[in-house]
Amino acid sequence: MSVKIRLKRMGTKKRPFYRIVATDSRNRRDGRFIEELGYYDPLTSPPNIKIDEPSIMKWMGNGAIPSENVEGLLRRTGTMKKWVLVKQGVPVDQLDAKLATLTDAETKGLSPDERRKKFTSRKLSKKAAAKAKGAAAESA
């Protein structure tokens, strides 16, 4: 039996509300499920996402595969980063500290000069690649 973590549609017509569930991949979208792992309400602003992280980690540790939509929600809440750290062998008690250092490193802003230098070098490299491609096409 392969277990999937996916969305189960609830709510009324034109008012969707989703539950995040662990289910057998052969079950229907809104059919039987093993465990409820959270919910997603796309109609609120900002969308309301509640995830039971210990249950998600347990199921993914047992081999459950999240659907594309659920994986996007897990990325949005930061649970996928935690899962990657768990797979790399970071102990659970050090997980939040390691995640905070990674987040700080990712969100550290560039100064305007650094940003300009990075952008112009990328722009120049694209032009150089286009010139080389054009020269190769002419010589052939």
Domain residue spans of the chain: 3-108, 110-140
Under the banding of pLDDT at 50, 70 and 90, the label for residue 106 is low
Under the banding of pLDDT at 50, 70 and 90, the label for residue 114 is confident
What CATH number is given for 3-108 in this structure? 3.30.1320.10
pLDDT in tens, 68-91: 999 999 999 988 888 888 888 888
Asked if 33 contacts 26 with a C-beta cutoff of 8 angstroms, the reply is no
Report the percent of the chain where pLDDT is more than 90.
40
Closest CA to 102 of 80, 117, 120: 80
Report d(CA 55, CA 118) in Å as an integer: 42
Going across the sheet that includes 3-12, the strands are 48-51, 35-41, 15-24, 3-12, 65-66
Report the percent of the chain where pLDDT is more than 70.
82
Q: What pLDDT, on a 0 to 100 scale, did the predictor assign at position 116? A: 74
Q: What pLDDT, on a 0 to 100 scale, did the predictor assign at position 34? A: 92
